[in-house]
């Protein structure tokens, strides 16, 4: 029986993401390009052949993307701050702004200041104004708010509201991480891997990833899993790697779902469970992962752990191919279909893609 091969995972560009837990994320290299010479943190798919061993450290580059978003936590013993946060959670951003402004001005409250920075940075209830966002974030940072430090670091990295300043961002991330902010620890780890703003130190990067992973950050769990798989900054430990992949998968990290599915299918670092592996591949494929779609196509076309279903399998092949994940082996299987079955595959792919 054919064995699914693990994916070689490479650390790509640093980029900001919008959302309640914004952070620098790890982007994969191009679908058909050879592995970069940098260490791993996001998967690049290969057809079922032996995976190449990734090389040493990455050199990520910052990318221009939407502003960082934080979710300021309310002080549980302060009902006024709870009102601010409650309005924010309900989408009543103008009310949250008015309440937070009063708290910031009357009580010099750092959580309220962080909330104001959040609202200005993301145009929630007020017109977007990065200069005002930075001002409020800085005030809150000076008062020791770790969320504000993290958000301000993200703005400094992206160059929103002022020039790019990686050195200040690194200092802010270090302060925020020291205060227990897992997103800051994760992003600081990336800077240690990058080796441009900070001296490259994969061992320190692994330590910071562990802090963020232990706090439940799924991106850090996934990245640390690759460290244990490859022995990057930590001793190689396949069982620890798979346990971290499982944790990140439970948090819906799609890349971890794919890697964990492959580990389950092959019984690598975990008991073999083909049924669970295929279910995870289906989930990740439906979430839009071209890698999962490609692997699922192979599983279905070749009947690996499931009954053969060439129509469904080759549908996923065409879907993955539209995202740049071509596969000559599956192209051959597609060419061998009868005209009737080829028409079924094309129709199924068009339906999934929403095209005519």
Distance (Å, rounded) from C-alpha 169 to C-alpha 152?
7
Q: Which domains, and CATH codes, for the chain?
A: 79-219 (1.25.40.10), 273-356 (no CATH)
Residue 355 has what pLDDT? 80
Using an 8 Å Cβ cutoff, are 262 and 6 in contact?
A: yes
Q: What angle do CA 280, 281, 284 make, to 5 degrees?
A: 85
Q: Which of 89, 111, 90 is nearest to 100 (CA)?
A: 111
Q: Compute CA 241 distance to the chain's CA centroid, rounded to the nearest angstrom.
A: 17
Residue 82 has what pLDDT? 79
Distance (Å, rounded) from C-alpha 38 to C-alpha 302?
33
Distance (Å, rounded) from C-alpha 295 to C-alpha 51?
14
Q: Which of 72, 96, 71 is nearest to 18 (CA)?
A: 71
Strand ranges (DSSP E) for 52-182?
62-63
Residue 69 has what pLDDT? 46
DSSP state of 59: -
Tokens 């301000």 sit on residue: 152
Distance (Å, rounded) from C-alpha 71 to C-alpha 78?
17
Divide the 356 residues of the chain into consecutive groups of 10 and give the mean pLDDT of each group.
43 33 30 34 34 33 37 47 86 96 96 97 96 97 97 96 94 97 97 94 97 97 97 96 98 97 96 96 97 97 94 97 95 96 97 86
Please list, residue by residue across 4-25, b when 16 or more beta carbons sit within 10 angstroms of its beta carbon and e when fewer do: bbbbbbbbbbbbbeeeebbbbb
Residue 356 has what pLDDT? 61
Q: Which of 344, 231, 227, 262 is nearest to 47 (CA)?
A: 262
Tokens 């996934």 sit on residue: 222
């Amino acid at each position: 029986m054919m064995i699914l091969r693990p994916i070689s995972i490479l650390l790509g560009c640093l980029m900001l993401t919008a959302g309640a837990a914004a952070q620098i994320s790890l982007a994969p290299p191009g679908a058909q390009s050879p592995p970069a010479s940098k260490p791993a943190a996001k998967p690049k798919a290969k057809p079922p052949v032996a995976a190449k061993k990734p090389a040493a450290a990455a050199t990520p580059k910052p990318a221009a993307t939407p502003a960082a978003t934080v979710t300021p936590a309310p002080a549980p013993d302060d009902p006024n701050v709870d009102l601010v946060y409650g309005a924010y959670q309900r989408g009543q951003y103008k009310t949250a702004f008015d309440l937070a402004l009063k708290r910031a001005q009357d009580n010099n409250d750092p959580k309220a200041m962080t909330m104001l920075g959040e609202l200005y940075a993301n145009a929630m209830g007020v017109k977007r104004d990065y200069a005002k966002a930075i001002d409020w974030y800085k005030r809150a940072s000076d008062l020791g708010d770790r969320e504000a430090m993290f958000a301000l670091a993200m703005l400094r990295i992206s160059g929103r509201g002022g020039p790019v300043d990686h050195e200040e961002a690194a200092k802010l991330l270090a302060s925020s991480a020291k205060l227990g902010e897992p997103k800051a620890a994760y992003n600081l780890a990336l800077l240690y891997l990058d080796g441009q703003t900070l001296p490259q130190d994969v061992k320190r990067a692994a330590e910071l990833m562990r802090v963020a992973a232990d706090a439940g950050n799924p991106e850090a769990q996934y990245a640390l899993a690759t460290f244990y798989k490859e022995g990057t900054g930590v001793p190689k430990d396949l069982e620890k790697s798979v346990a971290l992949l499982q944790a990140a998968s439970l948090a819906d990290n799609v890349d971890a779902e794919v890697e964990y599915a492959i580990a389950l299918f092959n019984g690598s670092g975990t008991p073999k469970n083909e049924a669970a592996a295929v279910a995870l591949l289906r989930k990740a494929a439906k979430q839009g992962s071209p890698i999962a779609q490609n692997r699922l196509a192979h599983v279905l076309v070749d009947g690996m752990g499931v009954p053969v279903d060439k129509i469904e399998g080759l549908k996923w092949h065409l879907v993955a191919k539209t995202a740049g994940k071509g596969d000559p082996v599956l192209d051959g299987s597609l060419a061998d279909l009868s005209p009737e079955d080829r028409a079924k595959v094309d129709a199924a792919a068009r339906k999934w893609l929403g095209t005519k």
